Structure 1
Amino acid sequence: MNTTTLCPLGADSALASTRFLLGVDGGGTGTRVRLSDLQGQCLGQGEAGPSALGQGAEQAWRHIQQAAQQAALNAGLPALDWSQMAVGLGMSGSSVTHLVEAFMAQQPGCALLALDSDGFTTVLGAHGGQAGAVVAAGTGSIGEALRRDGSRACISGWGWICGDEGSGAWLGLKAMRHAQQAMDGRAVVGTLARAVWAVAGHDREAVLAWCAQAGQAGYASLAPVVFEHRGGDGMAAALVQEAVIELERLAMALDPAGDLPLALCGSVALRLAPDFSGTIAGRCVSPQGDSADGALHLVRSALQRLRT
């Protein structure tokens, strides 16, 4: 989606009321926020549980507020007055209109909100607001780019149930499928299957119960198990290699000409980076910042538009 800006107080009132900026990175596993003054000086940071919009607007705002309060305490502020906050948000699930509407309806009275996808704020953070591409793989996966002409591209990010190839949740689903087949006798029992059973249970009933409640974050929690056993288990090694291939395909589809600097972001992408081919590795640059930095860039840009 394009950036959504909400000014509950009107443009002039929003500009007059804003005293602090808050950048929010809201994902399926956790929420990270960064609090700054109007000049961009970082004052404090905070973390809380997941705030992906698909997990519910009430949970999202609860965790954003918890993380924001932690950042305020780190900054020496006793409490946050949301009417003085201009908030930039990079949120998983922001492309689904009804989820955005539910989220906006519960906002706590902020002076200004600027909302976009966590993929796009990752691009803004990684490249300092300039043109560039990002392959981000953590709990989920997505490729986003800001082209030199100002247009945007988005690849993957279809969600953990049927997409997000190369992500932590995708690896976890693959590992669980293998463990189930090994339990049935349809696959060889190796260290990966045994490690998954150690987490989910050693019988059918326990595994089914674990899968019923796991959700995106639960499956993503199995990704480290895959990496841990890649050296001694053929299936774990194959899954890691498959993840590399999927993320390389994503990068090529995102920027076929290789015109843009490419940043790898997220725990899974960074862990897989040494396995990338020279073609992709040669295009990679170190990120200048993260999604929370990009969210701050997003809201600063929204404020600038209001001033002009």
Structure 2
Amino acid sequence: MPDPTRASAARRPGSLVIGVEAGSAMVEVLVATVDGMPMGAGRSGSANPTALPVAQVAGQLATAVAQALADVDPDEVGRVVVGAAGVLWFSRGTSATALAQVWAAAGLSCPVRVVPDAVTAFAAGTCARSGSVLIAGAGAIAAHVDREAVTARIDGNGWLVGDDGSGFWIGRQAVRAVFADLDRRGEPTLLRDAVLAALTGDEDVPADPAEQAETLRAAVYDGPPIALAALAPLVPAAAEAGDRVAQRIVDRAVTLLVDTAAALVGEDPAGPLVLAGSLLGRGGPIGREVARRLAGHDGGPPLRAGSGAGGAAWLAARSLAPHLGPDAHARLTGGA
């Protein structure tokens, strides 16, 4: 946690950096000293540019940045790095204008750099300048990163036509499995009660299967498609409880993610492989199995990413102090 006493101490202009992770699930912001001491943090909702209006994305960013700067003089910030899935969206037209207004409203006048989220996710797992990253959260992508640029990628094509094995993919498969249970095309599954409860808030779920199906349809189509990604944690939980339908979804998701990573790594196996995103955390069955199956990577066993905002802050700090070492990286990213 940031130390308010440290935050209020006088510092020279340019002695702080900001890292921003503008993700589909949430925005996270970290303010830190150049040598990696956290000074402020902020968090807000989704900044998915393909699913939300420009004003809403800008509003989420503004909220998180304001929280992080609450006890910090913005004149002390020397560099900002933003990791974003929709990097092109953030850098052109009205979107770029809206983003510039966020920084101006926060009182920031320093350079701001927007990079692909694959770059900050990779930086959240390693100090290395070159290697690969597999991200599986709401979306899914594998990317080769070299000197803070994506030089090759597999998937990351969005929920409509890609992101195989992602949280959205898993959530959609869960809903399909529930419909198959309800109309007797498929096996009974624990996902039926879990998904209905999640989408309706446990309110007024009818007992009749036909009415349940109608309730489910209404709930699915009332929200944005990407909202199905929030159902993803229900699937490994049901699988661990012995549900065969859920286990098949988990197995297929693992295979898709491993295939995505293998397609990229097969082209250029050099450097470390970082696993990032909510699905690939240490404690979950998907993350464990993906890591196990990718353990033979030529760059060594996969590394786990820490804080994405911390990875962005590391890039900002390294741009000001190129000789920063692993200790500063660990402080910023959580020691991943």
Distance 1:66 1:293 in 2: 18
CA deviations 1:129-181 (Å, max 9, x no partner) are: 52121111111111112248977222111112221111111100110111122
The amino acid of 1:267's aligned partner reads S
* TM-fit CA distance, 1:95: 3.8
Change (3 A) 1:269 1:100: farther
Q: Tell whether 2:224 aligns with 1:215.
A: yes
Deviates more, 1:131-140 or 1:269-278: 269-278
8 Å contact kept, 1:113–1:299: no
Q: 1:264 aligns with which of 275, 281, 284?
A: 275
Identity of aligned residues (%): 26
* TM-fit CA distance, 1:20: 3.5
The amino acid of 2:28's aligned partner reads R
SS of 1:154's partner is strand
8 Å contact kept, 1:30–1:50: yes
Tell me the residue number matched to 2:303.
286
Matches within 5 A, 1:154-233: 154-200=153-199, 202=205, 203-231=212-240, 232-233=242-243
- TM-score scaled by structure 2? 0.75
Tell me the residue number matched to 2:7.
none
Change (3 A) 1:83 1:58: farther
* TM-fit CA distance, 1:286: 2.8
Q: 2:256 aligns with which of 246, 249, 252?
A: 246
Distance 1:70 1:129 in 2: 31
Tell me the residue number matched to 2:18.
22
Matches within 5 A, 1:292-303: 292-300=309-317
8 Å contact kept, 1:132–1:145: yes
8 Å contact kept, 2:26–2:43: yes
The amino acid of 1:91's aligned partner reads A
- TM-score scaled by structure 1? 0.81
Tell me the residue number matched to 1:275.
289
Q: 1:57 aligns with which of 35, 42, 54?
A: 54
* TM-fit CA distance, 1:300: 4.4
* TM-fit CA distance, 1:68: 1.9
Tell me the residue number matched to 2:93.
101
Matches within 5 A, 1:101-120: 101-106=93-98, 107-108=100-101, 109=104, 110-111=108-109, 112-120=111-119
Deviates more, 1:53-62 or 1:235-244: 53-62
The amino acid of 2:262's aligned partner reads M
RMSD: 2.9
* TM-fit CA distance, 1:193: 2.3
8 Å contact kept, 1:29–1:217: no
Tell me the residue number matched to 1:5.
none
8 Å contact kept, 1:53–1:94: no
8 Å contact kept, 1:128–1:288: no
Change (3 A) 1:71 1:206: same
Change (3 A) 1:214 1:185: same
**Structure 1 unmatched runs, 5+:** 1-15
Q: Tell whether 2:65 aligns with 1:68.
A: yes
The amino acid of 1:66's aligned partner reads T
**Structure 2 unmatched runs, 5+:** 1-11, 206-211, 323-336
Distance 2:22 2:280 in 1: 18
8 Å contact kept, 1:124–1:294: yes
Change (3 A) 1:100 1:303: farther
SS of 2:309's partner is helix
SS of 1:275's partner is helix
Matches within 5 A, 1:77-156: 77=72, 81=74, 86-96=79-89, 100-106=92-98, 107-108=100-101, 109=104, 110-111=108-109, 112-147=111-146, 152-156=151-155
8 Å contact kept, 2:121–2:305: no
Distance 2:150 2:115 in 1: 15
How many residues align? The count is 285
Deviates more, 1:160-169 or 1:17-26: 17-26
